Amino acid sequence: MDRYSKVGKLVRDRIPQIIREDGAEPVIYTAAPEEYRDRLRDKLGEEVAEFLEADDESAPEELADVLEVVRALAADLGIDANQLEKIREAKAGERGGFAERIVWTGSR
């Protein structure tokens, strides 16, 4: 899927500053819009994998990372957090959520 160099990865906005504060000079560039979207999708997979591997103690922080990437993807699609929540609410109203823990095993 990734047509761009596998060198580097999308990082949070403050990471270059943090690297500088640690005494190093980061080598960075700003992704073009198409690359940015592709790298956000890659980042979502990375963050979901980290969440799936997390224990109960670190899971909330990893889930927050997933949410940050989801919000960035929504913004890239022109959808703000409120619009995204309205879409989620509409879908939940139509199809339900997951609170009842229902597992489907097929139909007769």
Could you tell me if 53 and 63 are in contact, meaning their C-beta atoms sit under 8 angstroms apart? no
Q: How many domains does the chain have?
A: 1
pTM of the model: 0.86
Both tokens of 2, joined, read 């990734």
For residue 24, what are the domain limits? 15-93
**What tens digit of pLDDT does each residue of 24-57 get?**
999 999 999 999 999 999 999 999 999 999 999 9
Q: Does residue 99 sit within a domain?
A: no
Question: Given a cut of 80, is residue 2 above it in pLDDT?
Answer: no
The reply to whether 86 falls in a domain is: yes
- Mean residue pLDDT across the chain: 94
Q: Would the pLDDT of 1 be above 50? A: no
Structural domain includes residue 106: no
Q: For residue 25, tell me if it sits in a domain.
A: yes
50 Cβ neighbours under 8 A, 6+ residues apart: 62, 65
Banded model confidence at residue 4, pLDDT cuts 50, 70, 90: low
Q: Looking at the domain assignment, is residue 8 inside a domain?
A: no
For residue 26, give the CATH number of its domain.
1.10.287
Residues 64-91: tens digit of each pLDDT: 999 999 999 999 999 999 999 999 999 9
Structure confidence at residue 7 as a pLDDT band (50, 70, 90): confident
Q: Is residue 101 part of a domain?
A: no
Query: Is residue 2 included in any domain, yes or no?
Result: no
Q: What token pair was written down for 92?
A: 């939940």
